[in-house]
């Protein structure tokens, strides 16, 4: 009997397969070591340009899971938090379920984020690119203004 464990990562799924539970456990014991290597190679330290990281310093913490919002909830709406997440992924798009996951990891309720993405799309702040979303030029300006407002 084959046993398979699937672990979701920002870049995709990592699958561990073995013939027995002991074999899976043995593989999982070395998991943190090789996961850090995979993350470093696939995600890479330069996935987010350094100037963007500097701009978002104090607002977002970049983790292996992705960008996490560290601004207190009372200082930032969920729509603004989504804007910061999309901004940190620019020029790449991000799938809605990943946005919800990052909001949840940031300690923000992920309910209603789909409505906020649709709202941002209607307002011209975001556009749907395949299965994901990314900011428009107007959306980038909106987030630039937001960053200036928050960091003052």
CATH code at position 57: 1.10.10.10
Q: Which residues of the chain register pLDDT less than 50? A: 43-48
Beta strand 66-69 pairing with 12-18: unpaired
pLDDT digits (tens, 9 = 90+) for 121-131: 999 999 988 88
- pLDDT the model gives residue 9: 65
Tokens describing residue 149: 């407002």
27 to 20, 38, 117, 127: CA distances (angstroms):
11, 15, 39, 41
Check whether residue 80 and residue 38 sit in a common domain: no
Peptide bond into 63 cis (omega under 30): no
Number of domains in the chain: 2
Q: List the domain range (segments joined by +) for residue 115.
A: 50-151
């Amino acid at each position: 009997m084959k046993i398979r464990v699937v672990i979701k990562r920002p870049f995709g799924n990592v699958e561990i397969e073995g013939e027995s539970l002991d074999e899976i456990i043995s593989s999982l014991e070395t998991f943190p070591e090789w996961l850090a290597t995979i993350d470093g190679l696939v995600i890479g330290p330069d996935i987010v340009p350094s100037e963007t990281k500097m701009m978002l310093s104090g607002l977002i913490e970049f983790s292996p899971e992705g960008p996490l919002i560290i601004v207190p909830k009372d200082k930032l709406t969920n729509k603004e938090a989504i804007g910061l997440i999309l901004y940190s992924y620019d020029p790449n798009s991000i799938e809605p379920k990943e946005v919800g996951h990052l909001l949840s990891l940031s300690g923000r309720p992920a309910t209603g984020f789909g409505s906020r993405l649709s709202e941002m799309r209607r307002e011209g702040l975001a556009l749907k690119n395949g299965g994901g979303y990314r900011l428009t030029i107007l959306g980038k300006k909106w987030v630039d203004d937001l960053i200036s407002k928050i960091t003052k």
